Amino acid sequence: MIKTIEERLRDYRLRDLPLQLPEAAVLMPVTDEPEPELILTVRSSAMPTHAGEVAFPGGKRDPGDKDLLATALRESLEEVGLTRHDVQVLGQLSPLPSRYGMKVTPFVGVVNPDVRLVAEPGEIASIFRVPLHFFLEATPDMSSPIDFFGRKLCIPSYYYEDKRIWGLTAFMILDLLNHAFDAGIRYDLGDGSNT
């Protein structure tokens, strides 16, 4: 499965996001094992944005970050203790706008399933894993259309155990599934096209 992701990301076509917004980046860590899992976090309830929500490790680009991949890796180290040497980056997905006015770029990376992760308590309440096959087999719930940056958009949600995985995080997962596994999950990108 990891080999498939790696091969398919080589021909991934980035979609432009022509919005002038502050930039952020996240890492989508996938464990390197026969049944790969996505590593996700629950953000601390004390955070000013996305409090208590499920997210990938990541955050806002700092002036010292040489690029957005550096942002994703730095934030992953700060939030869950994942070092740059623990990650084999497979590729980048298209940036998406967040409801807080950020342009967020996801990077997909492979990590050893035994990697030791430690939540930074000021930012992360917990770290958990979801088998990739769960997302391939589940159908996301879609919200009623909402106005998002002047476009109508339906927000996807997955429910895994007691966690709700929705919004930008769910869009990123759908983009990966559709590209790497031809999942064919249609969703409105808010630009008049469906993927």
Looking at the domain assignment, is residue 157 inside a domain? no
Backbone φ and ψ of 114, nearest 5°: -95, 5
Query: Edge-to-edge strand order for the sheet containing 156-160?
Result: 141-142, 156-160, 163-166
H/E segment holding residue 38: strand 37-43
CA distance 158 to 183: 15
CA angle 3, 8, 9 (to 5 degrees): 100
DSSP assignments along 39-59, one per residue? EEEEE-TT-SSSTT-EE-SEE
- pLDDT band of residue 176 (cuts 50, 70, 90) is very high
Looking at the domain assignment, is residue 26 inside a domain? yes
State the total domains in the chain: 1
Looking at the domain assignment, is residue 83 inside a domain? yes
Looking at the domain assignment, is residue 155 inside a domain? no
Whether the pLDDT of residue 187 is over 70: the answer is no
Q: What is the pLDDT of residues 66-114, one digit of tens each?
A: 999 999 999 999 999 999 999 999 999 999 988 888 999 999 999 999 9
Q: What is the pLDDT of residues 135-151, one digit of tens each?
A: 999 999 988 877 766 67
Structure tokens at 33: 């094992």
CA 103 to mean position of chain CA atoms: 13
Quick one: CA dihedral 83, 84, 87, 89, positive or negative? positive
Residue range of the domain that includes 14: 2-138+167-181
Average pLDDT over residues 17-40: 95
Looking at the domain assignment, is residue 53 inside a domain? yes
Q: Please give the pLDDT value at position 51.
A: 65
| CATH number of the domain residue 33 falls in | 3.90.79.10
Q: Please give the pLDDT value at position 18.
A: 80
